[in-house]
Amino acid sequence: MKDTGWPPTGAPGAFYECPRWHEGVWWVSDFYADRIVTVAGDGRTTTVLGLDGDHPGGLGWLPGGALLFVAMRARKVMRREPDGSLVVHADLAPYCEGPANDMLVLPDGTAFVGCFGFDLNAGEHPRTAALLGVLPDGTVRVAAEDLVFPNAAVLTDHGRTLVVGETFAGRHTAFTVTPDGRLDERRTWAQVVPSPPLGPTGEMIAGLRYAPDGCAVDVSGDLWVADALHGRVVRVREGEGIVEQLDLPDGLGAFACGLGGDDGRTLLVCAAPDFDPRARAAARDSVLLTTRVRVPAA
C-alpha cells in the first residue's frame, strides 16, 4: 500500500465518473449535477454540456469527432452534433434493465454499453444484465448476456480483447473482438475475489471484498481499477489479480479512474464520500485526485 498524497485537480462536483483524457484535457461526467465537464491541466473546470434532468454516464467519440454519451435514466446513447444540438444515437431501453452506465467507444465508432440490470439505489434485488453493442449507425445488439453488473470496459491486446468488470461478481471478464465487432470466446480475465451468490443488495455489498468500477488500461495490459467499496484503486493483472494498491484519503471512496496527461502517466481518480444519489446531489463533495504511475496509458 502506498500513500501518494493525492493532489486534487479541478473544482469539486456532485459525483464525478467516467473520466477520459481527450485532446489534452480531462472529460468527466458529473452524474448528479447532470453535466459533462472538462478539466484542463491548470485545474480550470468548464461545463461543456448540461442535461435537463438526466445523468450522463460513459463518454466517447465517433471517428469524425462527435461526442457520444450515455443518458443513464433515459437508457439512450446521445450524440452531440457539430452545431451543438443533441440527437438520439441509440435507444437502449428495449435491452437494458435499470440505468445504463459506462461505455467504451472503439476507434471505428462501435460502442459497448453496460447496464445495471436492476435499480441499485432503490435496493432492488440484483439480476444479471447484458453488455450492449452499438454500431456506428446506432443499431443496437446484445453483445454478451448474464453479466453481474457489467461496468467499465477497456481494450487490450492491441484491440483484439475487450475486458469488462463485473462489479457484483468481483471479477473481470474478457472477450475476443471479432472483425465485425462482435464478442466471442468469453473467459475469466481475473477472478479477484470469489463471486458471491446473488442475494439482497445490502448483503452483497457488505460481503463483497472487491467491487470493480471505472478502470483504465496501461501499456503492459494491466488495469487500474477503482474499487467502489473499499476506498482504493488497484492495479489488476490478467490471471493474477491485484498486484498494486493505492489507498485514498480517509472518508473517500473511489468510483472511477483514468490514465492520461501528456505522457499518459497521470492516474486520475473520481472520489466521493459515498454513492448515495440524494446525498451527492445535495452537496459538492466529489473530487478529482491525481497521482503519478510508472507505466503509461495504452
- The predicted-structure confidence for 87-143, as pLDDT tens digits, reads as follows 999 999 999 999 999 999 999 999 999 999 888 877 777 889 999 999 999 999 999
Nearest to 90 by CA among 139, 141, 153: 139
Closest of 144, 135, 156, 157 to residue 185, by C-alpha: 144
DSSP assignments along the chain, one per residue: -B-----EEEEEESSEEEEEEETTEEEEEEGGGTEEEEE-TT--EEEEEE-SS--EEEEEE-TTS-EEEEETTTTEEEEE-TTS-EEEEEE-GGG--S-EEEEEE-TTS-EEEEE-SS-GGGTPPP--EEEEEE-TTS-EEEEEEEESSEEEEEEETTTTEEEEEEGGGTEEEEEEEPTTS-EEEEEEEEE-SPPPPS--HHHHHHH-S--EEEEEEBTTS-EEEEETTTTEEEEEETTTEEEEEEEPPTT-EEEEEEEESTTS-EEEEEEES---HHHHHT---EEEEEEE-SSPB-
Q: What is the pLDDT along the chain (298 residues), one digit of tens a residue?
A: 455 679 999 999 999 999 999 999 999 999 999 999 999 999 999 999 999 889 999 999 999 999 999 999 999 999 998 889 999 999 999 999 999 999 999 999 999 999 998 888 777 778 899 999 999 999 999 999 999 999 999 999 999 999 999 999 999 999 999 998 999 999 999 999 999 999 998 889 999 999 999 999 999 999 999 999 999 999 999 999 999 999 999 999 999 999 999 999 999 999 999 999 999 999 999 999 999 999 999 9
Tell me the C-alpha distance between 188 and 210, whole Å: 15
